[in-house]
Amino acid sequence: MSPHPKIQPLHLARAAYVYIRQSSLRQVEQHLESQDLQYQLAQRAAAWGWDPAQVVILDDDLGKSGASTTQRPGFQQLVAATALAHVGIILVTDVSRLARNCADWYQLLDLAAATTTLISDASGVYDPRVYDDRLLLGLKGTFSEAQWYAMRAQLQAARLNKAQRGELAMRLPVGYDRLPQGAIVLAPDQEVQHVIRLVFDLFDQLGSTRAVLRALRDAQLQLPHRVASGPDRGTLAWVRPKYAHIYHLLKNPAYAGAYAYGKRRTLRTPGAPGQVASQALPLEQWPVLLRDAFPGYISWDQYLRNQERLHDNAQSMQPTPGAPRGGRALLQGLVWCARCGRRMRARYRDKPAYVCAQAAQDFGAPRCQHATVAHVDAAVVQLFFEALQPLHLEVALEAARQVALQRQHLAMQWQQRRERARYEADLARRRYACVDPDNRLVAAELEQQWEDKLRVCQQLEATWTALREQTLTPLTPADETAIRQLAAAVPALWAAETTAMEDRKRLLRCLIQAVTLDPFTTPGVTRLVVQWHTGTATLLAVPRPKPGGPPAPPALLQRVCELAQTHPDDEVAHLLNTEGTRTARNALWTPARVRNFRNKHRLPTGCPAINSTPGPRGDGLLKASEAAAQLGVTPSMVADWFRRGYLIGHQLRPGAPLWVRLTDADHQRFDGSASLTPDLVPVQQAPLALGLSLEALQLEVRAGCLLTYRLRINHRWRWYVQRPVGNPQP
């Protein structure tokens, strides 16, 4: 007989499952008595009649929360075994060990009732099929879930209360240390401080995260990084700069001396258990924000300016101009359409232009408008120079000061990096000097470490020397004089080859907030409304460039007309370039430019690439299909003969229409009417007979130096090469 009346032979024939769980790794490490109490449930199962071999202990979920079944393989195994009627009884110290979620709990109850599985806790044994037991188990599960929510709410309230005093300890970013009494101070490592300040200074000067990354990469500098996991957890490492590293450094309010809590919120994806996303909250929604809580690397005002600039640089659907790019359109991100009010984009295909195509993209509507970049940018730049005139000298002097300051910061960073390398080399030397020379195993390892540190020092010194000669050279008096001279002529500085397009755009954005284009109100004129950061606006009326450009010289028209009658466009371009003729913009001729020139001046061609009229074109070439019909073969065979060089022809590019020459002599060579004479050699034997390699033979055939013949021999078509005169048969 069973010691408990609810335990029947049916239950004893199945396995007894002991489910063990603790909610966190800290509980697993410290709450050992609770863990031992759960393991003792196996002895209870044996006392109730189960053979020890039938007792299954599920302890895979130690250190995992019971709020959901996600990442709980032990619970999932238990549910599967219950559904398969392999479980006679489930033993737990408390039902909260099984689940703190009513959905998971009632699912297990339904399966247990359907498969006659018992559930046991510290209070007794329950049969989910019995009304009273089911009611009691349901109440326990509901209370377990409510208890979890209550504990969670209390914990969050306690954390928030402590955070509001700035006493909740959170992981500090690199560049800060926490003293034993809890105070937060700047890292004592001067190199770490300098490189963090350098990042903020570079962002203030360059204006984008990507530009800061390029500057650090060009200077071959590294960024400090605190190791988050592994045996070196918490130690400082120097790593190669990454975009995400710099971006998070700029976004972190701790570098402005602010204590912030609740900057992000956790979102769970419906229908995807276990998938948790983190969403950044706006600054005004942070539950706790304590300014000046500890020393900062930048001021709070500078932090807010940085966030505004990062927001403006973002490539999103927000109405921000985006970061300056390297394209030729100087007003990229600043141009708006006067007709629909949408932002206009820069298009670089064909002629660069500002295009309003958002309605066409969203709704399939016709394109709103477009305006070429050249005349719009020229007018705005001229207006910019006029507005900038009184500030020329100050701008140049400030630029010189910023460049000198940046070079000083870079030099200081490199000096600290070299000092750190020398210290590590000296430390390795002292460790080697302290070892017993007879202990060769240890001495050899320390000697190798010393040599590695010395090698790093040498590499850093060589790199520093090269950088100092190239990019870190300080400004000379001659450089300062040149800058002051350029200050009197900002257009010259603007047009200098060393001035990047990003710098020009950044200069424009210093004064100009937006530009509205209206090419419709006045015919032939583009109306511009330039909005300044001061709140004022300037109206400009810019004449649009007339299409067509200057008239073509009559001699050029006559020459192109003559060549087009007997040559295709690519050959016309080659002949014009050979003669030294250039386009109106002093560019070389291309087939497309020849075609556009003919179409513009209505000059016909006698050698079109596509022609529906039968017969030869101006240069005497036939379409491949007509040549194939005359020879009694397929067009694909004609194309193959052309590729092999047997037929002379013209094809603008692979896949384009093919035109071939087919004279009476060509007919005789390909239709089989020629006779087999002694000077004809089979193609397979031609390299040996003529003393040529296979590649040289193919080149001679394509150049027309050797003629090929197609003859019908014994009811089969064969190819022959005609032996040149003066090359007798061996």
Q: Apex CA 210: angle with CA 207 and CA 212, to 5°?
A: 65
Q: pLDDT higher for 239 or 367?
A: 239
CA 102/CA 217 separation, integer angstroms: 54
Mean pLDDT value of segment 382-387: 78
Q: How far apart are the first and last CA of the chain?
A: 114
- For residue 152, give every residue at least 6 positions away whose Cβ sits within 8 Å of its Cβ, in sequence order, or none: none
Tell me the helix, strand and coil percentages in the chain, rounded to 5. 50, 15, 35
Mean pLDDT value of segment 474-478: 60
Q: pLDDT higher for 21 or 498?
A: 21
| pLDDT tops 60 at residue 292 | yes
CA 423/CA 190 separation, integer angstroms: 14
The pLDDT mean for the chain works out to 80
**How many CB atoms neighbour CB 408 within 10 A?**
12
Task: State the pLDDT confidence band at 208, using cuts at 50, 70 and 90.
Answer: confident
Q: pLDDT higher for 676 or 247?
A: 247
Q: Which two tokens mark 47?
A: 């006392």
Q: Which two tokens mark 313?
A: 């640089």
Count helices and strands in the chain by DSSP H and E runs: 26, 26
Same-domain pairing of 650 and 698: yes
Q: For the ranges 188-197, 248-257, 393-402, 448-457, which has the lowest average pLDDT?
A: 393-402
Sign of CA dihedral 255, 256, 259, 265: negative
- Crossing angle of helices 591-601 and 569-578, in 10° steps, is 100
Same-domain pairing of 140 and 195: no
- Identify whether 707 is part of a domain: yes
Mean pLDDT value of segment 462-488: 61
Same-domain pairing of 437 and 487: yes
Mean pLDDT value of segment 551-555: 79
Mean pLDDT value of segment 193-214: 85
HEC profile of 159-213: HHHHHHCCCCCCCCCCCEEECCCCCEEECCCHHHHHHHHHHHHHHHHHCCHHHHH
Same-domain pairing of 18 and 91: yes
| pLDDT tops 50 at residue 1 | no
Task: State the pLDDT confidence band at 322, using cuts at 50, 70 and 90.
Answer: low
Same-domain pairing of 343 and 314: no
Q: pLDDT higher for 610 or 115?
A: 115
Same-domain pairing of 315 and 351: no
24-43 per-position pLDDT tens digit: 888 888 888 888 888 889 89
Q: pLDDT higher for 370 or 287?
A: 287
- Identify whether 613 is part of a domain: no
Mean pLDDT value of segment 574-602: 82
Same-domain pairing of 140 and 201: no
How high is the pLDDT of residue 114?
Answer: 92
- Identify whether 330 is part of a domain: yes
- Identify whether 616 is part of a domain: no
| pLDDT tops 60 at residue 12 | yes
Domain limit, last residue, from 161, 192, 226 = 161
User: Which residues are catalytic, by number?
Assistant: 23
How high is the pLDDT of residue 549?
Answer: 58
CA 225/CA 240 separation, integer angstroms: 10
| pLDDT tops 80 at residue 395 | no
CA 729/CA 371 separation, integer angstroms: 72
Task: State the pLDDT confidence band at 18, using cuts at 50, 70 and 90.
Answer: very high
CA 251/CA 309 separation, integer angstroms: 11
Same-domain pairing of 374 and 509: yes
Task: Give the range of the structural domain holding residue 362, as residue numbers without chain letter.
Answer: 324-547
CA 200/CA 213 separation, integer angstroms: 12
How high is the pLDDT of residue 729?
Answer: 45
- Identify whether 318 is part of a domain: yes
Same-domain pairing of 120 and 182: no
- Identify whether 612 is part of a domain: no
How high is the pLDDT of residue 414?
Answer: 76
How high is the pLDDT of residue 396?
Answer: 47
| pLDDT tops 60 at residue 543 | yes
How high is the pLDDT of residue 486?
Answer: 53
Answer for the pair 87, 17: CB distance below 8 angstroms, yes or no.
yes
How high is the pLDDT of residue 413?
Answer: 74
| pLDDT tops 90 at residue 118 | yes
- Identify whether 478 is part of a domain: yes
| pLDDT tops 70 at residue 527 | yes
What CATH number is given to the structural domain containing 33? 3.40.50.1390
CA 579/CA 68 separation, integer angstroms: 82
| pLDDT tops 90 at residue 255 | yes
| pLDDT tops 60 at residue 557 | yes
Same-domain pairing of 419 and 308: no
Mean pLDDT value of segment 132-151: 86
Domain limit, last residue, from 161, 187, 210 = 161
CA 107/CA 118 separation, integer angstroms: 14
Q: pLDDT higher for 428 or 85?
A: 85
Domain limit, last residue, from 538, 567, 601 = 601
| pLDDT tops 70 at residue 420 | yes
CA 459/CA 641 separation, integer angstroms: 61
| Cα–Cα separations (whole angstroms), residue 373 to 33, 327, 384 | 77, 11, 16
How high is the pLDDT of residue 321?
Answer: 58
- Identify whether 380 is part of a domain: yes
Same-domain pairing of 534 and 400: yes
How high is the pLDDT of residue 91?
Answer: 92
**How many CB atoms neighbour CB 639 within 10 A?**
18
| pLDDT tops 60 at residue 19 | yes
42-57 per-position pLDDT tens digit: 898 888 989 989 999 9
Mean pLDDT value of segment 318-332: 65
Query: What are residue 280's DSSP bridge partners?
Result: 264
Q: How many domains does the chain have?
A: 5
Percent of the chain with pLDDT over 90: 8
Task: State the pLDDT confidence band at 730, using cuts at 50, 70 and 90.
Answer: very low
Closest CA to 78 of 104, 42, 103, 48: 104
How high is the pLDDT of residue 728?
Answer: 44
Task: State the pLDDT confidence band at 323, using cuts at 50, 70 and 90.
Answer: low
Same-domain pairing of 96 and 228: no
